[in-house]
Structures are given as C-alpha cells and as structure tokens.
Structure 1
Amino acid sequence: MNILSLIVEYNPLHNGHVYHIKKSKEVTKANYVIAIMSGNFVQRGIPSIIDKWSRTKMAILSGIDLVIELPVIYAVSTAEKFAYGAIKLLDSLNIVDYVSFGSENGSIEDLYNIAKFLVEEPEQYKLFLKEQLRLGITFAKAREIALNRFLGPKISKIIKDPNNILGVEYLKSLIRLKSNIKPITIKRYGPGYNSTETVNSFASANYLRKNIINKSFSVLNNFMPKYSTDILEYCISNGFGPVTLDNFSSIIIYLLRNNYNLNSVFDITEGLQNRIYMASRNCGNISELIKNIKSKRYTESRIRRILLHVLLGINSKLYTSYDGPNYIRVLGFNKKGLELMKMIKAKSTLPLITKVSNYKKILNDSLMFERDLFATDIYSLSFKKSSNAGLDFTREIIMLK
C-alpha cells in the first residue's frame, strides 16, 4: 500500500494540476492521495479566488482522497515557512510514503543537492551571502548569486524558477525533520508559473485568475476541467467570488493609518515599517500602496504577504510559539479518505478536527486554529450577498463518494 501526498493551493484547479495528480499516482503506484491545501489565503500574498470548500470539492473530483487545511500562518508565509508547515504536517500524520511536487527542473537529484547544501550552510557561504545582502538586493537574488559561486553556474537557472525554489524548501524540511517520506518531482508541463501564454490545453493559474477577474469565462473551458469551471461559475453567480486583494483595500489601509504595530509583523526589517506607514497615508487602494512600497530590496510578493499579516492579525510571536501545525483540520474526503482518517487517528499524535465546534475540547492550545477561523471571517467580508461570520462552524465538510 502506497500513500501519496501533495501540497497544493488549486487557485483555481486547472488541467496542469490534474496532470500532476495523475502522473504522481502513476509514478508512485499510489493507492491513496492526501492533499495539504491552503485555505482562503495563499502564499502569493493574496486571497484565493474562491473559498476553500469549493476548491476542496475540485480537488476530490480530480482524484484527491483527503484534503487537509494548511494553517493560515504557514499558508501566507515565506516559501521556507510555507514548506516547513506543510511538510511537518504531512510528517506528523505518520502514514505518508511519498510527497510529490511539480518543478521546472524535473530532477530530484539536482534539487536535493541544493537543499542539502543549504541545510549544511557552510560558513564561507554564509559570509558571502551577508556581503551580497549588504548591497541592497533581495534575499532570493543574494542567495542565487551565492549558490552560483559555491555550486556552479547551472544553479542560477534552477534557483530562479519559483517551483524549483519551493521544491528545494520542501526538501530542506524533509532533511531537517529526518523524515521517512520519499520526495518525487514531476516536471512542469506547459507555460511558466507567471506566464500569460498558453500551451495546448495548459495555462498558468495566474493567467486563469486574470481571465476570471476580467469575466472572460469562455476562455476557462480550454484549460480547466468542466467540474472545476462549474464550481467556479456557481461561486461567482452567487456572489462568492472572484475574491481579490482589492476587496480588502480599505481595511488594510485603515489598519495601517491607525498605527498598526508593524514591528510585531513577521518579515518586517528595519526601515520597511516607515516605508509602509508613509505609503498608507498617501495611497487610496492596495495596488497603489504596493507600488509605493515596492523597491529593489522589497519584492511585491513579500509586501503582499506582510499586508495579509496585518489584515489577519498574524504576528511574529505565532511563528516562534510553534514548531509546525498542532492539529489536522479536515476540509473534505471521499470513501478512501475516510479510510485514511482512520489510519491517521491510529498513527498520528496530532488531534484530528472534523467538527469545528469541538475545537476547544480537542486543542490545549487553540491560538493557531483561531487565526484560521478569523481568516475565514475576514474572507467572507468580500462576499456580495451574504458576508456572515462563522462559516467554519456552519459549512459542512465536503464528502463525496
């Protein structure tokens, strides 16, 4: 028996995701598939285009047996913390054999060698990296230059691509945890991560989101399964999407103008808080705000994540208080997923949450989980018809045969 795991966002689920699921199952000869999925906010520093329950349904219809939510504090963090939170959660299940991720490179050996080097982190490398950071460039660029020097010119091309970067972070986490989960990578097919081009029936999630926001729905049928477009169209026609960062512009700017304690926010470095405060006083929407904060050192994705931390009240203490998720929150499952849940109950030391109303009885420490609840309450403010709070308590787990 082989149990495969994937770490996903499905924002939205498209043909490339279906290809990854099918190819991963084929390579691993998996009998069961678990997905760790971001909830209503994702790692790019944006809200998901539609809610987590709708995306869970897409996932199960695509061949996933069990969908587990990645806590929001990891879902909206840096690639390193996102990967660690997801891998630690998978490792804590104590039943997973494989984790599969997509990459532009397609070679697990290349990515593993980089990950191993970064975990060992030789002293000379650390000193050179600090020298590069003093030049005022981003951490990603400084690391690319440093790795190029110590591991050779081939590394530059690998470490530039976003899925390769995330893959390296997954591997670093597996090494640090001394996990028995075996990693595999499936070479990404079709257009790049941020590409606005299409290849046959494949398009990037970024391209699809732009078409959804522009109401070019007819385009989607070429690149998404019909059940995926049906779910998406249902959400939009009923006022539950598309959700974008623009929906939260006024709240974020209000919080910043009201002297939000930016020093308590993770990934804020010296000088950045003043830049954000000043921009908030001179900007009227989120796009303008990000444009005014962005610089050679501060990337747009980093700024978006910081703004989400402000919106969701996530402070840096939450990251130092926990060594990974302390619960397993189920979003949906099928018949085989029910079998997986029984295995997890028998093998895992973490509590399994299937009924949210019981969380205070189940969890000794509920601070991380309550951030998830709060994130959903904030997310629902974007809905056009009904923006009631407490959806985590009222929405049922997705159960499909």
Structure 2
Amino acid sequence: MSILGIIAEYNPLHNGHIYHIEESTKLTNSNSIVAVISGNFVQRGEPSIIDKWSRTKMALLSGIDLVIELPTVYAVSTAETFAYGACKLLDSLRIIDFLSFGSEAGTITWLNKIASLLVEEPKIYKDYLKKSLSTGITYAAAREFAITNILGENYSKFLKNSNNILAIEYLKALLKLNSKIKPLTIKRIGPDYNSLNDLKYFASATSIRHNILKGNKSFLDKCLPPVSKEILINCFTKGLGPVSLEQFSSIILYLLRSGYDLKNVFDVGEGLENRIYKAAKMTNNIYDLINMVKTKRYTESRLKRILIHALLGINSELYKSFAGPNYIRVLGFNSKGLNLLKLIHTKSNLPIITRVGSYKKSIKDCRLFEKDLFATDIYTLALKGKPASGMDLTQPIIIN
C-alpha cells in the first residue's frame, strides 16, 4: 500500500488542486492520501477566506482521505518554517511514502540540487553569500547570487517563482529530517500564482480570493469544482465568510498604537518595528500601513505575517521552544482515513487529537495547540454566524 502526503491550504480548493491530486495519485499509484492543511490563518499572513472545517470538507470530497491541521505557528510563518513544520508533521506520522507538491519547474532534479546546496552550505557558498550581503542587497538576492555562481546562471529562473521557492523548502526540510518520504513535483499549469484577473479554468487561488472579496462570484463555475463552489456559497449565505485581513484592521492598529512589543515577534529586525509603529499612527487602514512600510527587503507577505503574529500573540520564543509540531490534530477523514488513523496510532510517537476538550491529557507542552485554539477564537470575530469563541470545542470532526 502506497500512501501519498500533500501539504496545502485549499484556500479555496480549485481546479488546479484537483489536477494536482489526480496527477499525484497516478504517478505514485497511491491508494490513500493524507493532507496537512493550514488552519484559519495562512502562510501569506492572512485569514483563510472560509474556516478550516469547510476547507476540510472540500478536501474530503475531492480525493483526500485524512486531513490534519498544521499548527498555526508554522502555518503563518516564513516559507522555510512553514515547509519544515509541515514536512516534520508528515514525517512524524511514520506512514507516508510520497510527498507531492506543485512547482513551475515541473522537475525534481534541478530543485533538489538547489536544496542540497542550501542544506550543505559549503564554504564556497558561504563566501559568495557573505560577499553579496556586504553590498547591502536582500538575503534572497544574495542567496540567488551564491547559487547561480556555483550551479550556473540557468538556476536563477528556479528562484523567482512562488511554487518553486516553496518546493525547494520542502526538499530542504526532507533532507534535514533525513526523511524516507520520496518527493515528487507536478508542473503548475495556468496563470501565475499572483495573477489577479486571469479567471480561466486553472485560475490561481489568489485571483479567486481577490475576485470573491471584490464581490465578483460569477466566475466560480469556471474556476472551482462543484463541491467547492457549493461549500463556499453555503458559508457566505450563513455569514461564515468571506474573511479578509481588512476585517482585523482595527484590532491590529489598536495593538500597534497601544505599544505592542513587536521586537519579540518572529522575523522582526533592523528597527522594522519603528517603521511599523510610525505607519500605524498615520492611517486607519491596514493595507495603507503595509504599503507605507514595504520595500524590497520588507515584502508585503512578510509584513502581513508580522501583523498576524502580533494579532495572535506569536513571539520568537514560541518558535525556539519547539522542534516541530508535537501533536496530530485531526480535522476530518473518510473510511480510508479512519484506517490510516489506526495505522498512525501504532507507528507515530505523537498524540492524536480527536477530542479537543481533553488535549491537556495528551500533549505535554500545550502552547502550540492553545495558539490554534486562540487563533480560531480571533478568527470568529470576523464571522456573523458563529459564537464568539470556543468553535474548536464545539465543531465536530468532519467525517465523509
């Protein structure tokens, strides 16, 4: 029996995701799929457009057998930390044979060479990196300079696309973990990940969310499988979305103006907190604040993550305290997934959380899990159709 692992957000699950699931299944000849998905806040530093249980339903109705939540602390982090946390979680299950992810490259060989170089960090790489950093360029640019000087100019094209960058981080994580999971990649088709208006059959999740938040839902039939459209519309009808960063604007600005200590937030440095504090006093809009602060060094996604960290009270110390997820939070499963859970129970050293109310009996250090609970409580502030808090305690596991 071959078991496939997928790391995703399904925010929302669209036709490109269906293609990825089907192609991955064919290439690996897998008969079961485990997906690790972000919870109610995602890697780009935004709330998910609908809640994690609704996205779990999408996954289970689209070929996934077992859905596990990536802890919030990893889900809203840098690409490197996001990838490491997700790969560590999959590896900790002790049942996964393959990890499949999308990429613009569409081939594992080139990406693996880059990942190996970044993990090994030979002296020549460190020398190139140090030399380029001394010129004042960004770390990403310095890294690209070092890689292309060692591996060749042809490799620069693999460092400019979102999916390639994340793919390299997955490969790095598997190497660092010395994991037995075999990686493979499916070539991304359709518009660029950041495309906003290209609403074709394989539209990007970014463009789908952008148009939904603008009030344009007429394109959903074209870009989404029927189950995703039905779940989305059902959520919107019940006042459970769409959710956007703007809905948390006032809370975040309040925190910043009241002197929230940004210096202890992960990925804040070089006096960046002072730029953010200053901008927070000059606008009442979160997107205006981001535009005031962002530069080539401080990208929009990085700034959004920092603001989400402030919103959720995630500091650097929390990252330093854990070497990866220390529990398996089950969001949903089908009959195959139930069998997978039984198998995981016999092989994994991590506690499996199915009854949220009793988590303290299972997890030795509960801080990561309690941050998931808190994240949901904050997320529900944007919902009109749910209780103010405790949704994690009342929402049952999704069983298909």
1:140 and 2:140 correspond: yes
For 1:44, the equivalent position in structure 2 comes to 44
Kindly indicate whether the alpha-carbon contact (under 8 Å) linking 1:136 and 1:297 is maintained by their aligned counterparts in 2.
no
Q: For residues 54-104 of structure 1, what are the alpha-carbon distances to aligned partners after superposition, in whole Å with 9 as ceiling and x for unaligned? A: 000000000000000000000000000000000000110000000000000
1:10 maps to 2:13:
no
Q: How far off is 1:330 after superposition?
A: 0.3
The answer (yes or no) to whether the contact 1:138–1:299 under 8 Å persists in 2 is no
TM-score when normalising by structure 1? 0.98
Deviation at 1:155, TM superposition (A): 1.0
The residue matched to 2:68 in structure 1 has which SS?
strand
The one-letter amino acid paired with 1:175 is L
Q: Sort the Cα spacing of 1:51 and 1:199 in 2 relative to 1 into closer, same or farther, 3 A.
A: closer
Q: Equivalences for 1:174-323 in 2 at 5 Å?
A: 174-198=174-198, 200-323=200-323
Cα shift at 1:197: 4.9
What is the CA deviation profile of residues 323-360 of structure 1, one whole-angstrom value per residue up to 9, with x for unaligned ones? 00000000000000000000000000000000100101
Aligned partner of 1:344 in structure 2 is 344
For 1:107 and 1:332, the matched residues in 2 are separated by: 31
* AA of the residue aligned to 2:133: L
What does residue range 97-116 of structure 1 map to in structure 2 within 5 Å?
Answer: 97-116=97-116
How far does residue 190 in structure 1 lie from its aligned partner after superposition? 1.1
**8 Å contact from structure 1 (residues 54, 231) kept in 2:** yes
Deviation at 1:176, TM superposition (A): 0.8
Alignment coverage as a number of residue pairs: 400
* Gapped regions of structure 1 (runs ≥ 5): none
User: How far is 1:141 from its partner?
Assistant: 2.3
The answer on whether the counterparts of 1:265 and 1:315 sit within 8 Å (CA) in structure 2 is: yes
Measured after TM superposition, the shift of residue 387 of structure 1 is 4.4
Partners of 1:160 and 1:305 lie apart in 2 by 20
Does the 8 A contact of 1:144 with 1:160 survive in 2? no
Give the whole-Å Cα distance in 1 for the aligned partners of 2:82 and 2:389: 26
Structure 2 gap ranges (5+):
none
Q: Distance in 2 between matches of 1:178 and 1:77?
A: 22
Query: Aligned to 2:128, what secondary structure does the other structure show?
Result: helix
Q: Distance in 2 between matches of 1:138 and 1:370?
A: 35
Instruction: Give, as a single letter, the amino acid of the residue that structure 1 aligns with 2:167.
Output: G
Deviation sequence 1:364-387 (CA, Å, 0-9, x none) = 110000000000000000012434
- C-alpha contact 1:58 1:231 (8 A) present in aligned 2: yes
Matching of residue 393 in structure 1 with residue 393 in structure 2: yes
Q: What's the C-alpha RMSD, in Å, of the aligned pairs?
A: 1.1
Deviation at 1:42, TM superposition (A): 0.5
Contact 1:190/1:199 (8 A) holds in 2: no
1:129-173 Cα offsets, whole Å, 9 max, x none, are 233334443322221222112211111101111111111111111
Deviation at 1:194, TM superposition (A): 0.7
Using the alignment, how far apart are the partners of 2:341 and 2:385 within structure 1? 35
Q: What do residues 257-298 of structure 1 show as CA deviations (whole Å, max 9, x unaligned)?
A: 111111110111121011111111112110111011111211
Contact 2:128 2:145 in 1 (8 A): no
Does the aligned pair in 1 maintain the 2:199–2:223 contact within 8 Å?
no
**Any idea what SS the aligned residue of 1:203 has?**
coil
Q: Aligned residues: percent identity?
A: 60
Instruction: Give 2:89's aligned amino acid.
Output: L
- DSSP 3-state at the match of 2:11: coil
- Contact 1:202–1:223, Cα closer than 8 Å, also in 2: yes
Deviations 1:226-277 (A, max 9, x none): 1101100111111111100001001111111111111110111121011111
Distance 2:354 2:180 in 1: 27
Distance in 2 (alpha carbons) for counterparts of 1:202 and 1:368: 35
- Does residue 23 in structure 1 map to residue 23 in structure 2? yes
Q: What TM-score, normalized by structure 2, do the two folds share?
A: 0.98
- Kept in 2, the 8 Å contact 1:138–1:298? The answer is no
Where 1:218 maps in the other structure, the secondary structure is coil
1:35 aligns with 2:27: no
Give the Å deviation of 1:199. 7.3
> Residue type of the partner of 1:128?
Y
Could you tell me how far apart the structure 2 residues matched to 1:205 and 1:119 are? 30
Q: 2:334 aligns to what? A: 334
Conservation of the 8 A alpha-carbon contact between 1:38 and 1:72: yes
Q: Judge conservation of contact 1:193–1:205 (CA < 8 Å) in 2.
A: yes
